Amino acid sequence: MAEVLERVTKIIVDRLGVDESEIKLEASFKEDLGADSLDVVELVMELEDEFDMVISDEDAEKIGSVGDAVTYIQNNM
Protein backbone atom coordinates (compact mmCIF):
# COMPACT_ATOMS: atom_id res chain seq x y z
CA MET A 1 0.00 0.00 0.00
CA ALA A 2 2.60 2.51 1.13
CA GLU A 3 4.88 1.59 -1.72
CA VAL A 4 2.11 1.94 -4.34
CA LEU A 5 1.01 5.29 -2.91
CA GLU A 6 4.59 6.49 -2.93
CA ARG A 7 5.11 5.62 -6.58
CA VAL A 8 1.72 7.07 -7.56
CA THR A 9 2.51 10.25 -5.63
CA LYS A 10 5.80 10.71 -7.42
CA ILE A 11 4.11 10.45 -10.81
CA ILE A 12 1.40 12.94 -9.84
CA VAL A 13 3.93 15.42 -8.46
CA ASP A 14 6.00 15.18 -11.66
CA ARG A 15 3.04 15.36 -14.02
CA LEU A 16 0.84 17.96 -12.36
CA GLY A 17 3.49 20.01 -10.65
CA VAL A 18 1.64 19.95 -7.32
CA ASP A 19 3.16 19.82 -3.86
CA GLU A 20 3.45 16.38 -2.30
CA SER A 21 1.47 17.62 0.73
CA GLU A 22 -1.60 18.13 -1.47
CA ILE A 23 -1.75 14.47 -2.40
CA LYS A 24 -4.27 12.68 -0.24
CA LEU A 25 -6.23 9.54 -1.09
CA GLU A 26 -9.47 11.50 -1.40
CA ALA A 27 -7.92 14.18 -3.63
CA SER A 28 -9.63 14.40 -7.02
CA PHE A 29 -7.26 14.93 -9.94
CA LYS A 30 -9.49 17.51 -11.55
CA GLU A 31 -11.17 19.18 -8.57
CA ASP A 32 -8.26 19.28 -6.14
CA LEU A 33 -5.07 18.87 -8.14
CA GLY A 34 -5.82 21.11 -11.11
CA ALA A 35 -5.66 18.43 -13.80
CA ASP A 36 -7.58 18.75 -17.05
CA SER A 37 -9.05 15.74 -18.88
CA LEU A 38 -5.93 15.18 -20.96
CA ASP A 39 -3.73 15.34 -17.83
CA VAL A 40 -5.77 12.50 -16.33
CA VAL A 41 -5.36 10.45 -19.53
CA GLU A 42 -1.62 10.99 -19.34
CA LEU A 43 -1.50 10.11 -15.65
CA VAL A 44 -3.19 6.82 -16.40
CA MET A 45 -0.72 6.20 -19.25
CA GLU A 46 2.19 6.79 -16.87
CA LEU A 47 0.66 4.54 -14.24
CA GLU A 48 0.43 1.81 -16.89
CA ASP A 49 4.13 2.20 -17.62
CA GLU A 50 5.18 2.47 -13.98
CA PHE A 51 3.24 -0.62 -12.90
CA ASP A 52 3.56 -2.49 -16.19
CA MET A 53 -0.16 -3.00 -16.68
CA VAL A 54 -2.82 -2.21 -19.25
CA ILE A 55 -5.75 -0.17 -17.97
CA SER A 56 -8.79 -0.39 -20.24
CA ASP A 57 -10.64 2.75 -21.31
CA GLU A 58 -13.62 1.64 -19.20
CA ASP A 59 -11.51 1.27 -16.07
CA ALA A 60 -9.53 4.42 -16.78
CA GLU A 61 -12.72 6.47 -16.82
CA LYS A 62 -13.42 5.39 -13.24
CA ILE A 63 -10.07 6.63 -11.96
CA GLY A 64 -10.79 10.15 -10.73
CA SER A 65 -8.88 10.42 -7.48
CA VAL A 66 -5.58 9.40 -5.94
CA GLY A 67 -7.40 6.71 -3.96
CA ASP A 68 -9.08 5.35 -7.10
CA ALA A 69 -5.68 4.95 -8.73
CA VAL A 70 -4.06 3.29 -5.73
CA THR A 71 -6.99 0.90 -5.24
CA TYR A 72 -7.07 -0.03 -8.91
CA ILE A 73 -3.37 -0.74 -8.99
CA GLN A 74 -3.43 -2.82 -5.82
CA ASN A 75 -6.34 -4.89 -7.12
CA ASN A 76 -4.72 -5.50 -10.49
CA MET A 77 -1.04 -5.93 -9.74
Partner 1 sequence: MMKLEGKVALVTGASRGIGREIALQLARNGANVAVNYSGSQEKAEQVAKEIQEMGRKAFVIQANVADTDQVQGMIKQTIDELGKIDILVNNAGVTRDNLLIRMKDDEWDDVMSINLKGVFLTTKAVSRSMMKQRSGRIINISSIVGVTGNPGQANYVAAKAGVIGLTKTTAKELSSRGITVNAVAPGFIETDMTDKLTVEIQDEMKKQIPLARFGQPEDIANVVVFLASDDASYMTGQTLHVDGGMVM
Give residues with Cβ within 8 angstroms of 27, minimum separation 6.
Answer: 33, 65, 66
One of 30, 45, 59, 76 touching partner 1 (CB under 8 A): 45
Shorter beta-carbon distance to partner 1: residue 26 or 57: 57
Active-site residue (options: 36, 39, 59, 68): 36
Residue 43: burial class (beta carbons within 10 Å; 0-12, 13-18, 19+): buried
Q: Residue 38, interface with partner 1 (CB under 8 A)?
A: yes
Q: Which residues bind partner 1 (CB under 8 A)?
A: 38, 41-42, 45
